[in-house]
Structure 1
Amino acid sequence: MRVGKGCGRCRHRHIRCVIPTGASTCTPCLRLGRACHLDPRFQFKPVHHIYQKNNGATARFELDWDKEQVWVDVSQPVTFVFEANDESAGDEHSALEQHDSLAPESVGDESSSLQQYTPAPERVSNGSGGWTQGLHSEDTYPAQARSPIYENRSRHESTNSPLSLLSDNGSTLTLREASLMRHFIQKLAPWADVCDIHSHFSTEVPRRALENNMVLQAILALSARHDAILANDSDWEASAYHGQCLHLLIAALDQAETNCDENMLIAVVILRIYEELETTTDQQFHLLGSNRLVNLMARSASAGGVAEAVSWQFLRQAIYASVVQYQPLQLDMQNYERSSMFHRQDDGACANRIIYHCARILQVCCDAPGNIVEEDTWRQISDSVNEWNQTKSTTWQPIRYQASSVAAGRPFPEVWMISPPAVIGMQYYHSACIFLTLSKSPSHNMSDYERARSRRVKEKTIADHLIMVIGLSLSNESVQNAYFMACHLLHRFGYCLQNVVEQEGSLKFLARVENMLGWRTSWIMRELEHQWTELAAFDSRDTI
């Protein structure tokens, strides 16, 4: 019999497990907000023999079962669990292997989470802009294509995932894996395929997953996390898949100093969506990795096929981070200028062109002091946006339009579009107009009053474009990707909405997004309510 030495998570991370007296959770798990699975206070070690004195002489007695040992009958089937002798018992590898051996009937329905899973190692900041993934914080990842997000684990570590792609009979995925794959194809891939006429994320990426375990683990991690969010359940299963994907991705990058293939880019972009689903704690680890891979694979945005589709998906991810986190884009935009999108005339290409212009505005504006750009540069970018708006296809005109009316309790316009790319393209057009408005340099000859008036006019213009973006989302509800930009802009510019009807409508919209898509918006709602209350107090004469 021996005393237990802390929870499995702390042992896996090789850190000290401190358990306060009478507590049910250790200090590290409490700090991370994770469930703590403590071992029993006492554990029994297997004993194979004993030494016993007989008439003054020490004799060894073997404790082997006799061949004639009679076992009692049981009324129902039981399972015997053999505990490991070493300290690694209960780590994520053994838990995942246990899951692999389960029969499909024991896995449960599609919405259930696998409680047998031990979560992947927690991300821990190393204090220098990078992070580690658990075992040893002093390990660092080499340069070149590798992002500081990835820990350099042991070179001798096997790259084979405990979650085998094929079942024991070599014919198919497990029931749970197949369910998560279908969840990705039906619910998550359309988010990325909205401007891709070939729908690579719904077709080619799942095919890659059947051949590449790293891509498979990324898909399973994303689907499991989204499923857990919708079910308001624990994401332990997603964390386990996420950890396995990182094992494979790190090993792949170790073997490719400068030559990164498409599967790496696919996996990292999918893992970035995995991060985005936790917007309140989004630390953009995989955004950094994607950024480096895209810049390293200089031709990915113009290579055609799945690489080009993934690169344009990442551009939208970079725009999201820039809008929400107030960060400049660090992408080499020249890679995108060689894309076929500037030579094609389909709706997807037209939408991607305005997405490119929006990214260029964010890149230039955020790099300039005070987000103000020179007049000539601003005019050149503004002309590009206006030219796009004037030359877009006539099929991008709404088939129905009804203006908003605050008096009628209708805060957002009704704008029915024909195609999903048209919805997204018009949203990015209004977003580009917002950032152009925000970055326009005021005249040096303005009086103080004129500057104050200019600020009010800017806020009114931004509010008008924001209302259009939300209206496009609500009017084309089948285009789920359209909800995201509206949420991003509300987080950034929701304070510009001064009418109570518009504010209440925005809160209902955000609540709807979280209920429908599992995209965290409660924190945005809390921030907006605080901002509106504070601004209303400033504008009230009663506070004087």
Structure 2
Amino acid sequence: MKLTTAIAALAPAACHALVGNNWSFENSPDGGLKDITFPMLLTNAPHETQFYFAQQFNFGGTGAMGYTGLQPNPDADGKAKIRGVFSSFTAGTTTTDPNCHDGADGGPGVSCGVIMNGNYSDKIIMVVEHKSGTTWQGTAVDTVTGGSIHVGSWTLPAGTTGILSTQMGFVEDYKGSDGAGCSAMPKTEVSFFNPTTTTAGAGAGVVQKPYEYGDCTGKAGFVVTELEGRPKQLGYLVATCRDRKIKCDGSLPVCLKCQKSQKACCRPGQQLKYVMHSADPTLQQLVIKAEELRDEVTQQNQNKDNWDVLEAKSTVTNNSEIALQNPVVAALFQHYIDFLAPWYDLNDSQNLFTTLVPARALATPILFKALIAFSACHKAGTSSTYDGIGAIYHASCVRDLLAALGDASGELQGDYLAATCLLRSFEILSRGTRHQQHLLGAYAFATSGPIDLSVRGYPQAGTWNYLREEITVALECRRPVRISSPFEFVPTWDMPDDMWANAISHILAKIVNFFFEEETGVGTLAMSTALGTLAKDVASWRAHLPKSFRPFSMAPKLGNPFPSIWMVQRCHIAGAQYCALAEILLALSRQHLSMSASDTMATEDDEACIRDKALEVCGLAYTNDNVAARVNAFGPLAFCGRYLTEESHRSGLIDMLLDFNIPTRWPVQPIIQDLQEHWQSIENP
């Protein structure tokens, strides 16, 4: 949506209530809003305890009320400080959160607050989201670094429902200028932006023009600058909505329709395509247009004193030659080449992530920082020497990448794609596949033109890596893959082996989407036809597959509880796993559509297929000692493991995941927990 910014410049005065600004959403969904975010910017606010910049909100059911906002604080330890606040002014509110205490402004309720390191030039969003029951949580998120701070949580009285769709915000002089009156009030400044929510049916949020109220009205030198007006109905501004023939609200960076459907939000004439990775409101609001951050990024790069790990500060530079004079950084660069790069060359016989990416990184600061960030993140699992270095390089890389994405063209396009793939891996290893905050909760896929995926090359290697990463996360999180028109691919039967593996990746992505997406208004016949087309794609791929994809042996491997399937190349392992997984999803889809409900034999065939192919996926992973193929197998194993029925196979999979964690540092515990909970639910329905 377009942003309405109100800047309140307050000259001397002395009271509490100073400025109000009403906010609202277009509609009031049943049950209220399940989340809401309030963006704020304090660029020119003094670093002193004086003012509270806040937004308040009411809840349905009980009339409960809460506040959230920011309070500037004095700098300390050479760092800027901001206090995040999240409060309930409702009697009967309870909390066990260590950031919170009973009482609010001398009355009933609960007050939560946390002092955080913050750059006043960064836009900060205060996120209020429903957790469970009547419990709500407040979070502060820096939209430049992507870092988030838990402010607090509390539980409202029984009967409380969601947040109402309208209320107001305010600016408050909570110190009362120490009783000196309106004339003694120091000048300050704040920008309020439109609130947002992911709640279906709420529509666009708008913050109205601020106004003075209270004893200092007309005495405080109050000034308002409105940067942009109310959002307008933009019809088919988004190409995705136009193609689907649905009305679009034109919200930025992702329209509400694309948020709900989690599709790529593509706009005519724009190079930047935003693809959501989560419906979590905290993550959605971190997707910021690169153009809006250019000035802020420049300021951030001029002030590196905000970074937490001072010992690695001197190594962060746009000059790779200087950075590599540091022996720790040099070791990380070598670690990427020797151990991590092959992960990305899984289906690339040219090995571009091993050969070209390091060479390009020496000349491209964004790519160099992404490479060091990922390498440090991986090494941090074995040595405390690297603690914090990855986070610092990651923060610097993200800032640079946001500022440069709109200019991606030519060879830089490949650099930025490669950098984003490395950052995505950093994100997974540091937080897990279920946390997508480190890359701003979204993958901003920038293209200066269509990428021809029928050939091999630098941008193509990055694109195929992105797709495999998406498949892995989609399978672990059980959600669709985010693919759009740039990923169209038509295979030819004379392709080299690595392109055959890429071809089944593309087919699998479409099958994953068919399985996890719920298409409303589509009849069973149409769904059956679409499923049949996908099944033909897999059958055609298998029928034309080169003989080199056949296992060279089925001899049992010592200790393998699964079928032993020995393959020649790593791309053969990946291709065979993806094909087996595709057949599992097709069989499950047939069952879900009840296509064979009256055919007992067909149903039994599908069940046998699911069982046998799940064992095949596990067997391929266990048999072949290839780290790149095993990294790629985590998603398939997380999904297929749910369909193992024998205890020996289940325990074998758990042991295998734990073994794979040692060299890869992949976060396997969430996978194991999910599998064990699923198996238990089957045994004890």
Give the TM-score, by structure 1 length.
0.67
Give runs of aligned pairs for residues 64-83 of structure 1, distance below 5 A.
Answer: none
Matched with 1:175 is 327
- Corresponding residue for residue 504 of structure 2: 354
Q: In the TM superposition, what whole-angstrom CA distance separates every residue of 1:88-131 from its partner, at most 9, and x where no partner exists?
A: 9xx99xxxxxxxxxxxxxxxxxxxxxxxxxxxx99977579x97
Distance 1:303 1:139 in 2: 48
1:132–1:139: 8 Å Cα contact kept in structure 2? Answer: no
Q: Which amino acid aligns with 1:487?
A: F
- Residues 1:186 and 2:338 aligned together: yes
Distance 1:123 1:221 in 2: 24
The residue number in structure 2 matching 1:520 is: 667
**Following the alignment from structure 2 to structure 1, what is the Cα–Cα distance between the partners of residues 192 and 418?**
25
User: 1:507 aligned to 2:654?
Assistant: yes
Q: Structure 1 423/209 Cα, relative in aligned 2: closer, same or farther at 3 Å? A: same
**Which residue is 1:274 aligned to?**
426
CA distance in 2, matches of 1:352, 1:499: 32
Q: Is the 8 A contact 1:190 1:202 kept in 2?
A: yes
- 1:327 equivalent in alignment to 2:479: yes
In the other structure, the counterpart of 1:154 is 296
CA 1:301 to 1:207, structure 2 compared with 1: closer, same or farther past 3 Å?
same
Residues 527-536 or 426-435, more deviating: 527-536
Letter in 1 for 2:545: K
- Give deviations 1:443-468, integer Å, cap 9, x for gaps: 46846xx78x9777645432321211
- Structure 2: 5+ residue runs without aligned partners? 1-48, 50-72, 87-97, 101-113, 130-140, 149-190, 194-250, 254-269, 275-285, 305-313
1:169-318 equivalences in 2 (<5 Å): 172-231=324-383, 235-253=387-405, 261-277=413-429, 278-279=431-432, 281-283=434-436, 286=439, 289-290=442-443, 292-293=445-446, 297-299=449-451, 301=453, 304-318=456-470
Relative to structure 1, is the Cα distance of residues 351 and 288 closer, same or farther in structure 2, using a 3 angstrom cutoff? farther
Amino acid at match of 1:470: C
The residue aligned with 2:143 is 132
Q: Is the 8 A contact 1:265 1:310 kept in 2?
A: yes
- Residues 300 and 279 (structure 1 numbering): CA distance in 2 closer, same or farther, change over 3 Å? farther
Native 8 Å contact 2:587 2:606 kept in 1: yes
Residue equivalent to 1:461: 609
Question: Which moves more between the two structures, 431-440 or 137-146?
Answer: 137-146
Q: Give the stretch that moved more between structures: 153-162 or 204-213.
A: 153-162
What amino acid is aligned across from residue 635 of structure 2 in structure 1? H
Give 3-state SS (helix, strand or coil) of 1:487's partner: helix
Count residues with an aligned counterpart.
Answer: 432
Assess, with a 3 A threshold, how the Cα gap between structure 1 residues 512 and 299 changes in structure 2: closer, same or farther. same
Change (3 A) 1:351 1:329: same
Deviation at residue 187 of structure 1 after TM alignment: 1.2
Q: Is the 8 A contact 1:272 1:284 kept in 2?
A: no
RMSD: 4.4
> Is residue 2:624 matched to residue 1:476?
yes
Query: One-letter code of the match for 1:307?
Result: P
Alignment partners' CA distance in 1, 2:621 and 2:519: 33
- Give how far 1:166 is off: 4.4
Would the alpha carbon gap of residues 15 and 364 (structure 1) be closer, same or farther in structure 2, given more than 3 Å must change? same
Q: Is 1:376 aligned with 2:529?
A: yes
Distance across 2 between alignment mates of 1:432 and 1:522: 25
Larger relative contact order, structure 1 or 2 (CA cutoff 8 Å, min sep 6): 2
Instruction: Indicate the percent of aligned positions where both proteins have the same amino acid.
Output: 23
Change (3 A) 1:534 1:454: farther
Higher helix share: 1
Higher gyration radius (CA): 1
SS of corresponding position for 1:282: coil
Deviation, 1:290, is: 3.6
Provide the rounded CA distance (Å) in 2 between the counterparts of 1:13 and 1:315: 40
1:304-357: CA deviation from partner (whole Å, max 9, x where unpaired)? 42111111111111212221222223322564416xx64653211111111111
Match of 2:561 in 1: 411
- 1:233-279 Cα shifts (integer Å, max 9, x gaps): 87422111111101211221365699973322221121111112132
> Structure 2: how far apart are the matches of 1:424 and 1:283?
25
Provide the TM-score with structure 2 as the length reference. 0.55
Distance 2:192 2:379 in 1: 33
User: Cα distance 1:446–1:260, how it changes in 2: closer, same or farther (>3 A)?
Assistant: same
**1-structure distance, mates of 2:426, 2:657:** 20
- Counterparts in 2 of 1:246 and 1:401: CA distance versus 1, 3 Å: same
Q: Could you say which residue in structure 2 is the equivalent of 1:541?
A: none
Q: Is the 8 A contact 1:287 1:318 kept in 2?
A: no
Question: Structure 2 matches for 1:110-121, cutoff 5 A?
Answer: none
